């Protein structure tokens, strides 16, 4: 009778990963742009950011965002009223995982930037294209193609890291599994089921990402 609960936990897990992905990708791209800009202050700031969030354990980052965000938000609200506020565990998990994901994805984007011949944007500039047009029409399509394999791996890592949010009381798949184990005293059964679910989700993701990669790379010469 625990199928519905596990299905609900799976829904939260997948939803958290899907909400974290665009946030992490957008932030990672901005960090990569900062590193690739050549502006010393931006490069230093971006390097500090990636060093911190690539070096900290994901669980510690989650605690800092959840509990630190709670304290900071409460102090801000106390400036105007005595209302008690509580940080949503889903939002805290999304932000924490997104920060870590962005730190790693920025390196993937940066490598992709360096794989694009510098002569192509310069040719676009010679044709009278604006900076935004050069990025949208010349750089971005190649950036996606070059970065996709690395980002695919990071997506699979993100799916696994969503299990950490169970520790801040978000009803994801792992938390629902733990509740089932506590009630039935059958850890091997339910943890095996959770393993199977994660493997199925990872397999589906891999198939989908492979299809996207083939579509993006069509017309490209294979070596």
pTM comes to: 0.90
User: In whole numbers, what is the pLDDT of the chain averaged over residues?
Assistant: 90
**Res. 223: pLDDT tops 50:** no
Give the pLDDT band of residue 120 (cuts 50, 70, 90).
confident
More confident residue, 120 or 9: 9
* Cβ-proximal residues to 55 (8 Å cutoff; 6+ apart), any chain: none
Give the pLDDT band of residue 108 (cuts 50, 70, 90).
very high
The tens digit of pLDDT for each residue in 152-187 reads 999 999 999 999 999 988 899 999 999 999 999 999
């Amino acid at each position: 009778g625990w199928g519905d609960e596990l299905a609900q936990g799976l829904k939260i897990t997948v939803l958290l990963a899907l909400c974290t992905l665009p946030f992490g990708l957008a932030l990672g791209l901005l960090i990569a742009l900062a590193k690739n800009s050549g502006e010393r202050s931006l490069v230093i700031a971006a390097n500090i950011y990636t060093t911190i969030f690539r070096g900290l354990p994901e669980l510690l980052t989650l605690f800092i965002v959840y509990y630190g965000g709670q304290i900071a938000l409460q102090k801000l609200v106390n400036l105007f009223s005595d209302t008690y506020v509580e940080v949503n565990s889903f939002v805290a998990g999304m932000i924490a995982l997104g920060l870590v994901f962005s730190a790693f994805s920025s390196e993937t984007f940066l490598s992709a930037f360096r794989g694009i011949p510098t002569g192509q944007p310069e040719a676009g500039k010679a044709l009278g294209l604006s900076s935004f047009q050069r990025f949208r029409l010349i750089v971005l399509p190649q950036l996606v193609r070059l970065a996709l394999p690395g980002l695919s791996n990071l997506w699979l890592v993100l799916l696994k890291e969503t299990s950490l949010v169970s520790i801040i009381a978000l009803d994801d798949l792992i938390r629902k599994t733990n509740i089932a184990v506590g009630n039935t005293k059958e850890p091997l059964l339910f943890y095996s089921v959770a393993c199977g679910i994660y493997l199925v989700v990872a397999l589906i993701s891999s198939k989908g990402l492979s299809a996207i990669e083939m579509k993006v790379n069509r017309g490209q010469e294979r070596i």
